[in-house]
Chain A
Amino acid sequence: MATIHVKRPELTFAEKLYIPEVVKGLAVTTRQLVKNVFTRKDITTRQYPEEKRPYPDRFRGRHRLMWDDDKNVRCVACMLCSTACPANCIHIVAGDRGDDKVEKYPVSFEIDLLVCIYCGFCEEACPCDAIRMDSGKHPLPSFSRDKQRIRKVQLLEEGDFSIARRGGRGT
């Protein structure tokens, strides 16, 4: 019928007695105990804050905002990142930059790291290579929620020049 009969291994008499098997198990654990007490060879624990493990190259860490040629914010506040954001953690207030070339720029750019899920959709959506998650840093704990809302200034501090041309091809 619908039941499946699992074949249980037949136990020998010695196994049925348990005692020899228990002693075998104790031998294994005791061996590890002795080994680790005296040599610490098998210990795999990493002492985290002191020993850090390198992150993989494509690790998505804390966001950063890239610079344009004048070290100003490269972002044009198109809000595609906040549109793509599934967690709704990017809050942008756009303003008029007053130059003919770019016009729009973010007056404020805030990311709520407590809400962010680090999916990387924002950098995928960005048409200007303005937001990136390649800082290699993860958010640190803090005593207030407000500290976890990182602002434009902090985002730009991590920034760099971008090799991509603004506005894409043909302008």
Chain B
Amino acid sequence: MSVGELILFGIIKFIAIVFGWVMLVATVLTLMERKQSAFMQNRVGPNRAFVFGKKFPLSAFIGHLLSDALKVLVKEDFEPPRANKWLHLLGPGIAVIPAWLLWVVIPFGPGPMPGAEGDHPFLIANLNVGVLFMFAVMSLSVYGATLGAWASNSAYSLLGGLRTAAQMISYEVTLGLNLVGVFMIFGSTRLNDIIWGQGQSAWGIFLQPVGFVLFLVASIAETKRAPFDLPEAESELAAGYFTEYSSMRFAVYSLGEFIGIVAVAAVAVCCFLGGWQIPWVETPVDASGVPIYGWLTVAQIAIFLFKMVIFIWLQMQIRWTLPRFRYDQLMKLGWLYLLPLSLLNLVVTAIIMYAVR
């Protein structure tokens, strides 16, 4: 294939994956979260908007999705006076595009074995820097929040933006260092290689238990959700960095957040929960190391999604269970506990690997 074709296929894949189901999942999540929190708190949750008033299974669910979508589309698009117009417009965009780009390196189905030649059908770009690219992109999303906050010309927004910047930079370190242990064990930053490795030895969660817990904590902080939702702490900052946003811009911000949740879940599944691997099931490969695609592949994609849903559910369950940290506690936790622990985890991993070899 020529370079042009590669780019074209890449774009088609990107659109198919991101808009075909990532956006869909994120949208559904907005409602799922409301429903889940309602049941956790002995409530019913949204159950009023039916599709054309007809009561059939999931009618209220779909009705609320549609009406929410319609609502954000037709609501007044407010721009604060004396706001920086261009940055205010750019903010949500800068926030959501990195969240999309994360999906470039996430394989949600089986690809060629490590070292084998061949195309990966369930991955947009099989980069050898894989996860590192992801971190690079993820760091960008802090700009979206901070720029939008600053451009809003509002004290609440500005404080929210500052908190976002400080918090995301702090927890990114822990997030990255905990994946380093996984890289060390599987000797690659390519997510595809890591998943194959987990199939051959054991899942990352068993090899790196401390790393998984630290990653979980840091990932929640990275997605700015309770108990780490200080950037948008509604009791203190109205709505934090997106206080001055409304209508579709507001929706884009919250969609970006939910896509981030899905992406973090995908990374966690890839690195710690065996990706598309089904326990005790071997993936059949041909002589060149390319898997033989069949019904098993479908099951593997399904299991990948299932694992993601479990992880997202866990994130939401934590978000609706735990109260918010104080800001000094947040910083203390990040720098004094999580970072040293993850460094220690690395050292111990290195020592054990040396000893085992």
Q: Do chains A and B touch in the complex (CB under 8 A)?
A: yes
Instruction: Verify A45–B43 contact, CB threshold 8 A.
Output: yes
Instruction: Verify B44–A43 contact, CB threshold 8 A.
Output: yes
Instruction: Verify A22–B42 contact, CB threshold 8 A.
Output: no
Please tell me if B321 contacts chain A, counting CB pairs below 8 Å.
yes
Complex interface residues of chain A between 113 and 128 (CB less than 8 A to chain B): none
Min CB–CB distance B341 → chain A (angstroms) = 11
Q: Closest chain B residue to A30 by CB distance? A: B317
Instruction: Verify A29–B44 contact, CB threshold 8 A.
Output: no
Which among A19, A29, A43, A44 is the interface contact of B320 at CB below 8 angstroms? A29
Q: Closest chain A residue to B41 by CB distance? A: A32
Complex interface residues of chain A between 15 and 70 (CB less than 8 A to chain B): 19, 22, 25-26, 28-30, 32-33, 36-37, 42-45, 47
Instruction: Verify B39–A22 contact, CB threshold 8 A.
Output: no
Instruction: Verify A43–B43 contact, CB threshold 8 A.
Output: yes
Please tell me if B84 contacts chain A, counting CB pairs below 8 Å.
no
Interface residues on chain B, size class: 10 to 19
Q: Closest chain B residue to A42 by CB distance? A: B42
Residues of A within 8 A of B40 (CB): 29-30, 32-33, 36
Which among B42, B321, B322 is the interface contact of A43 at CB below 8 angstroms? B42
Residues of A within 8 A of B283 (CB): none
Please tell me if B36 contacts chain A, counting CB pairs below 8 Å.
yes
Given contacts A19-B213, A43-B44, A45-B44, A25 and B39 within 8 Å (CB-CB): no
Min CB–CB distance B211 → chain A (angstroms) = 14
Cα A43 to Cα B44 with chains together (Å): 7
Which among A19, A29, A36, A45 is the interface contact of B321 at CB below 8 angstroms? A29
Please tell me if B318 contacts chain A, counting CB pairs below 8 Å.
yes
Residues of B within 8 A of A25 (CB): 321-322
Interface residues on chain A, size class: 10 to 19
Given contacts A32-B39, A33-B36, A37-B39, A22 and B44 within 8 Å (CB-CB): no
Cα A26 to Cα B40 with chains together (Å): 10
Min CB–CB distance B326 → chain A (angstroms) = 14
Cα A47 to Cα B40 with chains together (Å): 18
Residues of A within 8 A of B39 (CB): 32-33, 36-37, 43
Given contacts A19-B213, A22-B322, A25-B322, A33 and B317 within 8 Å (CB-CB): yes
Residues of B within 8 A of A26 (CB): 317-318, 321
Residues of A within 8 A of B36 (CB): 33
Residues of B within 8 A of A22 (CB): 318, 321-322
Q: Closest chain B residue to A40 by CB distance? A: B44
Residues of B within 8 A of A43 (CB): 39, 42-44
Q: Most B CB atoms within 10 A — which of A28, A37, A43, A47?
A: A43
Min CB–CB distance A27 → chain B (angstroms) = 9
Min CB–CB distance A168 → chain B (angstroms) = 52
Min CB–CB distance A46 → chain B (angstroms) = 10
Cα A45 to Cα B317 with chains together (Å): 21
Q: Closest chain B residue to A31 by CB distance? A: B40
Min CB–CB distance A25 → chain B (angstroms) = 5
Chain B 10-37 per-residue mask, 1 if CB under 8 angstroms from chain A, else 0: 0000000000000000000000000010
Q: Which residues of A contact B (CB under 8 A)?
A: 19, 22, 25-26, 28-30, 32-33, 36-37, 42-45, 47
Q: Which residues of B contact A (CB under 8 A)?
A: 36, 39-44, 213, 317-318, 320-322
Pull 28 A–B residue pairs with CB atoms less than 8 Å apart, ordered by A. Answer: A19-B213, A22-B321, A22-B322, A25-B321, A25-B322, A26-B321, A28-B321, A29-B40, A29-B317, A29-B320, A30-B40, A32-B39, A32-B40, A32-B41, A33-B36, A33-B39, A33-B40, A36-B39, A36-B40, A36-B42, A37-B39, A42-B42, A43-B43, A43-B44, A44-B43, A45-B42, A45-B43, A47-B44
Known: A30-B317, A44-B42, A47-B44. 8 other contacts (CB 8 A): A19-B213, A28-B321, A29-B317, A32-B40, A33-B317, A36-B40, A36-B42, A43-B44
